[in-house]
């Protein structure tokens, strides 16, 4: 396999925003059907802006780094802006991923998507 970029290793070594949020406004829990790895993303939303995001990931180096980068990218974004954050955007922010590891970045995109969906559902209920 190609080696990971410096950025990936930086996020792997010092992952940002690890953990859970108490009383989150949205939670996304997704699994990667390709490899069985799992990611959880928690978001806190205020006036339609994501003010905090945290993650927990069971997965490879790429999965951990993309989770970390995704949380960094979404914090401070409006919900609509956050929706634009695809796996490609996350991978590019990490200076790319080895080709065999691109599927790992889906996990971050899907977890974010799921967290936003959960947020909307909770909004409707209130």
Question: C-alpha angle with apex 43: 122 to 114, nearest 5 degrees?
Answer: 65
| CB neighbourhood size of 11 (10 A) | 25
Alpha-carbon distance 96 to 106, whole Å? Answer: 13
What token pair was written down for 47? Answer: 């006036």
Residue in 34, 35, 51, 100 annotated catalytic? 35
By CB under 6 A, name the one of 8, 107, 108, 114 that touches ligand FES.
Answer: 107
Of 98, 20, 9, nearest in space to 57 by CA: 20
Residue 55 interaction partner, one of ligand FES, another protein, none, beta carbon < 5-8 Å per kind: another protein
60 tagged catalytic: no
- 50 interacts with ligand FES by CB under 6 A: no
Residue 87 interaction partner, one of ligand FES, another protein, none, beta carbon < 5-8 Å per kind: none
- 70 interacts with ligand FES by CB under 6 A: no
Residue 78 Cβ vs another protein, minimum distance, rounded to whole Å = 27
58: enclosing H helix or E strand:
strand 49-58
- 41 interacts with ligand FES by CB under 6 A: no
Question: C-alpha angle with apex 82: 96 to 58, nearest 5 degrees?
Answer: 55
By CB under 6 A, name the one of 15, 25, 59, 82 that touches ligand FES.
Answer: 59
Residue 58 interaction partner, one of another protein, ligand FES, none, beta carbon < 5-8 Å per kind: another protein
57: enclosing H helix or E strand:
strand 49-58
> 62 vs 115, which CB is nearer to ligand FES?
62
- For the annotated catalytic residues, the residue numbers are 35, 104
């Amino acid at each position: 396999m190609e080696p990971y970029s410096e950025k990936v290793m930086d996020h792997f070594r010092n992952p940002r925003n690890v953990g859970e949020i108490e009383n989150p406004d949205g939670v996304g829990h997704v699994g990667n059907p390709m490899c069985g790895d799992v990611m959880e993303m928690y978001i806190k939303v205020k006036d339609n802006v994501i003010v905090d995001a945290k993650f927990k990931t069971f997965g490879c180096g790429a999965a951990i780094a993309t989770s970390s980068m995704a949380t960094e990218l979404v914090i401070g974004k409006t919900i609509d802006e956050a929706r634009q954050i695809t796996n490609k955007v996350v991978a590019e922010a990490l200076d790319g991923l080895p080709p065999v590891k691109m599927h790992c970045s889906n996990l971050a995109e899907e977890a974010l998507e799921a967290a936003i969906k959960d947020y909307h559902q909770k909004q409707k209920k209130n």
